[in-house]
Amino acid sequence: MVTAKSMCDTYDANRQICKYVHSTSRGHEAIQLATGMQLLPCDWVSPYYRDDSIMLSIGFQPYELMLQLLAKKEDPFSGGRSYYCHPSSRDENRPFIIHQSSATGMQAIPTTGLAQGIQYLEKTQHNKMPTTDGQLPIVVCSLGDGSVTEGEVSEALQFAVLKQLPIIYLVQDNQWSISASAEEVRAMNAYDYAQGFKGLRRWQCDGSDFIRSYETMAEAIAYTRTERKPALVHAKVPLLGHHTSGVRREFYRSREDLLKHGLYDPLPKLRLLLTDVGIAEHVITDIEKQAEEKVQADFQRAQTAPDPDPRSVEEHVFAPTPITEEKGQRSPKNGEKVLMVDAALHAIEELMEEYPEAILYGQDVGARLGGVFREAATLGEKFGEHRVFNTAIQEAYIVGSTAGLSALGIKPMVEVQFADYIYPGFNQLVTELSKSCYLSNGKFPVGMVLRVPTGAYGGGGPYHSGSVESTLLTIKGIKVVYPSNTADMKGLLKAAFHDPNPVVMLEHKGLYWSKVPGTEDAKMVEPSRDYLLPLGKANIVLAADISRVKKGETVCIITYGMGVYWAKAAAAQFPGQVEIVDLRTLHPLDEEMIFNQVKKHGKVLVLSEEQQNNSFAEALALRITNHCYHFLDARVEVMGALNLPAVPINLVLEAAMLPNAQTVQERIAKLLAY
């Protein structure tokens, strides 16, 4: 406890050196130390941004924490990329820690995903389950009381009690949410709130009293470790430090409030306890002196540690994928033509047969329905509800829980019912998944596949027809795939499964069954079981005649999804003069093929179903212009949908909004006329 206080005091006395924003555990030390001291190396813990006492109690040294404080190269958590007390660790001698973000409350979902994964490994008796002296692991998720009002915390609690997961939610309540007091922002504290979650065992304690904290955590940990059920501990603590180094306590707290909190300082209380039980004063003084000397020595040493190499700044955006070459038979002899939706179904079925760590979940994908597009039909019956199951309407949980599952070696494939409903999951996709590999310095890439039906078709209307690729592509650290036919669907889906990074599969629902006129070619011979198609490889689906190319009488269309079929229909009016490139993957993007084809033809149309303004298609057009300027015979044309806020439900209006073969034909003619 003296070490934690000394660290806080040292940072505050050296504000110019400690220039990066940070918080400390000052006032929270007792409950944090009581928690960490009782965790086992097989456990998982998610500290939040002021939990440096938890870090000390599970074995990390001040020097290691200070390397992150000062953003040094040898920072063991992020390599100088993230804030103080934003740890991640795979050290087998300490509890494991997945990537921790700054967004308060967001850690509840990935951490509950850890508990979900542990339960799955228990049920399947999988060899990936770590234990310590025969003890099964538990998960601890640390939260501030202010974060419990976040909706995503509710999603995590709902899932934990529904599935009865082995997790403890430790809520540290210091009565403040930055400058907002508890009375301003909540109707009840976390202990009272948790009463509404049936099946969640509750404790509360004075988190400034070490003995009470230790006893309470001992009970909660014993309960969760033996009963394998969720619990919540609400600990009331004083806030003795600043909210952060940049938002200091004197900015918003009165002298009376600071004095009131000071009465509950856990350090004098523990010191008094030690003297009461007969510990000599000189022994206590020696402990304090040694702790303070160690902190000062570690701080001096950390200051001289090297900064990160600037050349490392682009490392660990993605973990390397093992799928780099096309393998297997794309069109087996005597193969049977299947629909695109069936190719996806068969791909997942084959993966689940081969890999016991593969699971599938989302809204309505379970045995009763098998997905609203029947894209998971029969899988629930075949693999059981522990591997294929329904979730509630919880897009955030569906997306974010995959971070915890992936950390345990489980491979989740999840579904959001329509692209229009992906937005509640964006917080987790952006805040947690996309940054995990980069900010953990490569320790925790999130291997998951997120399937998203997308696109307009048959009067689906404004909330079932949207295209979201441009929004997705602004997120760095995820991959985005968009197959347009059966073979690509199967090969890309399997490659996505083997990719150790987050992959979003955009699947056009208008191509699922080839019911849209002109999309019959989406139905193809099903590739072999071992077929793999690497992400980032475009495909020429229609080649122009070489003779016309040499005469400068051709145009290249770069497109994907439904655009492939609009382009093919339009190209029929210009025999030999149109080359069509199907991107297949939007990130990573096959720039080499794109630029080569543009240079070859000199005239190019980028075609998309998305609303055109500020779209991926427009961004790609600029990239083409910049890289191929001297080879262009005309400016790069872009065609997308009309710039409307939604797809109208009326079929006539829907058609008026979207590109079609006729409008694409007119744009081709314009380019060829140059």
Q: Taking a C-beta distance cutoff of 8 angstroms, is the pair 131, 167 a contact?
A: no
Q: How far apart are CA 280 and CA 269, in angstroms?
A: 16
The pLDDT of residue 370 is: 67
Helix (H, G, I), strand (E, B) or coil at 177: strand
CB 120 within 8 A of CB 358: no
Collapsing DSSP to helix, strand or coil, 525 comes out as strand
Q: Where are the beta strands (DSSP E) in 543-661?
A: 555-559, 578-582, 585-587, 604-611, 637-641
Residue in 316, 464, 508, 587 annotated catalytic = 464
**Are 209 and 179 contacting, i.e. CB atoms less than 8 angstroms apart?**
no
H helix or E strand, kind and range, residue 300: helix 281-303
Residue among 519, 581, 518, 569 at smallest CA distance from 544 = 581
pLDDT tens digits, one per residue of 92-135: 999 999 998 998 899 999 999 999 999 999 999 877 788 999 99
Q: Which residues of 512-550 are buried (b: 16+ CB within 10 A; e: fewer)?
A: bbbebeebeebbbbbbbbebbbbbbbbbebbebeeebbe
Show the tokens assigned to 529: 């079981």
Q: Give 143-210 as a DSSP string.
A: EEGGGGGSHHHHHHHHHHHHHT-SEEEEEEE-SEETTEEHHHH-SS-HHHHHTTSTT-EEEEEETT-H
Give me the pLDDT at residue 377, please: 76
Active site residue 86: no
**Residue 98 structure tokens:** 């997945």
Using one digit for the tens of pLDDT, what is the confidence trace for 137-174?
Answer: 999 999 999 999 999 999 999 999 999 999 999 999 99
Indicate the helix (H) or strand (E) that contains 591: helix 591-601
Helix, strand, or coil here: 442? Answer: coil
H or E stretch at 577: none
Determine the Cα–Cα distance for residues 118 and 136; give it in Å rounded to an integer: 9
pLDDT of residue 36: 98
Helix, strand, coil abundance in the chain, percent, nearest 5: 40, 15, 45
Residues 6+ apart with CB under 8 A from 592: none
Helix (H, G, I), strand (E, B) or coil at 104: coil
Amino acid at 498: H
In a 13 Å sphere around the CA of 410, the CA atoms on its Cβ side amount to: 27
168 token code pair: 């403890």
The secondary structure of 387-405, three-state, reads: CEEECCCCHHHHHHHHHHH
Rounded Cα gap, residues 436 and 639, in angstroms? 35
How many CB atoms neighbour CB 61 within 10 A?
14
Q: Do 593 and 538 form a contact (C-beta atoms < 8 A)?
A: yes
Name 414's bridge partners. Answer: 361, 450
Say what angle helices 108-124 and 395-407 make with each other, to 10 degrees.
Answer: 60
- Tell me the C-alpha distance between 294 and 304, whole Å: 16
Q: Show Cβ contacts of residue 102 under 8 Å, excluding neighbours closer than 6 positions.
A: 49, 83, 86
Give every residue of the chain whose pLDDT is below 70, as ranges: 370
Q: What is the DSSP letter of 327?
A: B
Angle at 428 between CA 492 and CA 200, to 5 degrees: 120
Using alpha carbons, select from 485, 578, 594, 498 the residue that is nearest to residue 537. Answer: 594
Taking CA atoms, 505 is separated from 89, 280, 411, 450, 583, in Å, by 30, 65, 15, 6, 13
